[in-house]
């Protein structure tokens, strides 16, 4: 039998009993729509979660901290045990010295290794009459562009005596002399302006009394970031040399990174695929390494589980629909037993009969799947519109705008229709096999 004739016959036969086919297909519609909406929701939630991670930290960065060295190997532990109370071994810090940084740089896939230090002094920044508390980080690079953060204005080039300031930090400037009821001033335009940085350290004088020591310096703002919800939005970046000098002033002694190590290093990798690899190597060297990628991967696996659970809920509805299809097909075959006998008498093979009835069952699955996909996809779009309208209303009351997105990837409707068709096919298997193996004369004589 030619495929075109088979398909035509199948749809003619389905058309013969429209009412029953539609009722049966509604079960499949509900199941498929449930699968499409729920899986789309899970995928949408996953995308939201990963997107937020993507903006909080570049996924190709690894943050490395000094590690706790665990006693210098098994032999050392043996000595401790044998030595009894002989002054227990204090764990050695695994330091992020410039030598180690070179080792990181040599790892395959590593693009850059950037040491960073927090400023140890209390600090505030003044610009004209405005003031803000400063969160300042020293970066061991002159080019911050490859972090991938967005700039509102200026440059990512960081030199001695200059700073790049976070867009959100600019908004935190306030007027200390502002009286209640007065309109707060707008955020200052800081691009290419000089700000006054006031540093404060606490020390003791000759009598042992606490003394506050202040120092001021002028810093030129060369860039303002456009970031909102990550470090680059709330931080002022300065060169590592500047911060080292300030920290030396705070500590009152020279800092030798070969002896103290850096407090943190950012390792930038060329591709997301290499992140976990490099991260593992660094961990094996005894450092603490952390990457957004590892979070994203665990989040991904969580959402895969969520998708399976959501998909499973829809699949239960499809299972019920499958029983409906099996029932409808069994009824159809009983009603058309004589017709099956006739088909066989005029030369239809068992395979022809099987194809026709499997095709009809699959056809119900396909029609239901198609309807379910349309309703599921459409329903998802409607929920998206309603939810974003609702959330936009919520966002005006403060806080960053939240998005809820039901995202239907192209593969999902295709998969859903194929799956519904497969469900139809499997439900029709038993009735169709029964029809195909009927003895022709028994079928012809069926009353």
Partner 1 sequence: MTEDSMIQVSALRKTYRMGTTLVHALDGVDLTVERNTFSVLLGPSGSGKSTLLYLLGGLDRPTSGKITINRTNLDTLDENALALYRRKTVGFIFQSFNLIPTMNALENVAFPMSFVGIPSGQRKKKAYELLKVVGLEKRALHKPTELSGGQQQRVAIARALVNDPPLILADEPTGNLDTASGHLVLQILTELHQSGRTVLVVTHDERMVRYATNVVRLLDGRIVDHDITNFDDAAVPAAQESR
Which residues in this chain contact partner 1 in the complex, by CB under 8 A?
1-2, 4-5, 9, 12, 16, 338-339, 341-352, 439-441, 444
Residues in Cβ contact with 293 at an 8 Å cutoff, skipping those fewer than 6 apart: 59, 60, 272, 275, 276, 279
Residues in Cβ contact with 71 at an 8 Å cutoff, skipping those fewer than 6 apart: 77, 80, 89, 91
**Pairing of β 162-165 and β 236-239:** antiparallel
Q: Give me the least distance between CB of 29 and partner 1, in Å please.
A: 25
Using an 8 Å Cβ cutoff, are 69 and 94 in contact? yes
Using an 8 Å Cβ cutoff, are 115 and 262 in contact? yes
Closer residue to partner 1, CB minimum distance, 3 or 81:
3
Q: Give me the least distance between CB of 45 and partner 1, in Å please.
A: 49
Closer residue to partner 1, CB minimum distance, 163 or 436:
436
What kind and span of H or E run contains 224? strand 210-225
Could you tell me how far CA 399 lies from the centroid of its own chain? 21
Nearest to 96 by CA among 293, 285, 291: 285
d(CA 232, CA 226): 8
Helical packing angle, 292-335 and 18-56, nearest 10°: 180
Closer residue to partner 1, CB minimum distance, 13 or 427:
13
d(CA 208, CA 177): 35
Closer residue to partner 1, CB minimum distance, 68 or 439:
439
Closer residue to partner 1, CB minimum distance, 70 or 352:
352
- Radius of gyration over every alpha carbon of the chain, rounded to an integer in angstroms: 35
Q: Give me the least distance between CB of 325 and partner 1, in Å please.
A: 21
Residue 151 token pair: 């700039």
Q: Give me the least distance between CB of 401 and partner 1, in Å please.
A: 58
Q: Give me the least distance between CB of 2 and partner 1, in Å please.
A: 5
Closer residue to partner 1, CB minimum distance, 129 or 338:
338
What kind and span of H or E run contains 131? strand 130-133
Nearest to 326 by CA among 3, 30, 27: 27
SS3 394: helix
**Pairing of β 61-65 and β 288-291:** antiparallel
Q: Give me the least distance between CB of 442 and partner 1, in Å please.
A: 8
Q: Give me the least distance between CB of 434 and partner 1, in Å please.
A: 15
Residues in Cβ contact with 346 at an 8 Å cutoff, skipping those fewer than 6 apart: none
Closer residue to partner 1, CB minimum distance, 354 or 364:
354
Closer residue to partner 1, CB minimum distance, 347 or 400:
347
The full DSSP string for 30-79 is HHHHHHHHHHHHHHHHHHHHHHHHHHHS-TTEEEEE-EEE-TTSHHHHHH
Q: Give me the least distance between CB of 20 and partner 1, in Å please.
A: 14
Closer residue to partner 1, CB minimum distance, 20 or 159:
20
Sign of the C-alpha dihedral computed for residues 379, 43, 268 and 254 taken in this order: positive
Q: Give me the least distance between CB of 293 and partner 1, in Å please.
A: 57
Closer residue to partner 1, CB minimum distance, 58 or 339:
339
Q: Give me the least distance between CB of 330 and partner 1, in Å please.
A: 20
């Amino acid at each position: 039998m030619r495929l075109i004739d088979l398909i035509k016959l199948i749809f003619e036969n389905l058309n013969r009993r429209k009412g029953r086919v539609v009722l049966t297909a509604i079960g499949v519609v509900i199941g498929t729509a449930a699968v499409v909406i729920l899986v789309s929701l899970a995928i949408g939630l996953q995308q939201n979660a990963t997107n937020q991670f993507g903006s909080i930290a570049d996924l190709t960065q690894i943050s490395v901290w000094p590690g706790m060295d665990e006693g210098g190997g098994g032999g050392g532990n043996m000595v401790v045990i044998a030595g009894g109370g002989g002054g227990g071994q204090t764990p050695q810090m695994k330091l992020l010295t410039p030598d180690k940084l070179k080792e990181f740089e040599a790892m395959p896939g590593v693009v850059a290794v950037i040491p960073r230090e927090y400023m140890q002094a209390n600090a505030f920044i003044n610009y004209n009459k405005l003031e803000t508390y400063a969160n300042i980080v020293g970066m061991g690079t002159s080019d911050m562009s490859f972090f991938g953060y967005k700039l509102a204005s200026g440059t990512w080039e960081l030199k001695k005596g200059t700073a790049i300031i976070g867009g959100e930090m600019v908004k935190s400037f306030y007027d200390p002399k502002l009286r209640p009821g007065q309109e707060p001033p707008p955020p200052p335009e800081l691009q290419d302006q000089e700000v006054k940085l006031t540093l404060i350290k606490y020390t003791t004088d000759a009598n042992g009394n606490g003394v506050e020591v202040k120092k001021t310096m002028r810093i030129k703002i060369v860039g303002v970031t456009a970031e909102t919800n990550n470090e680059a939005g709330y931080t002022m970046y300065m060169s590592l040399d500047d911060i080292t000098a300030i920290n030396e002033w705070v500590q009152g002694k020279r800092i030798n990174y070969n002896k103290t190590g850096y407090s943190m290093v950012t390792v930038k990798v060329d591709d997301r695929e290499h992140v976990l690899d490099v991260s593992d190597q660094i961990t094996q060297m005894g450092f603490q390494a952390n990457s957004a990628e590892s979070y994203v991967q665990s989040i991904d696996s969580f959402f895969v589980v969520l998708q399976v659970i959501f998909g499973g809920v829809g699949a239960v509805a499809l299972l019920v629909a499958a029983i409906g299809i099996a029932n409808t097909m069994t009824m159809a075959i009983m009603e058309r037993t004589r017709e099956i006998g006739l088909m066989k008498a005029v030369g239809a093979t068992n395979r022809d009969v099987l194809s026709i009835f499997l095709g009809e069952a699959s056809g119900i699955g396909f029609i239901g799947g198609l309807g379910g996909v349309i309703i599921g996809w459409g329903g998802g779009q409607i929920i998206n519109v309603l939810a974003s309208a609702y959330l936009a209303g919520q966002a005006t009351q403060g806080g960053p705008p939240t998005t809820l997105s039901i995202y239907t990837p192209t593969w999902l409707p295709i998969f859903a229709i194929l799956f519904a068709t497969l469900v139809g096919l499997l439900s029709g298997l038993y009735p169709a096999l029964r029809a195909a193996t009927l003895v022709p004369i028994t079928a012809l004589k069926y009353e």
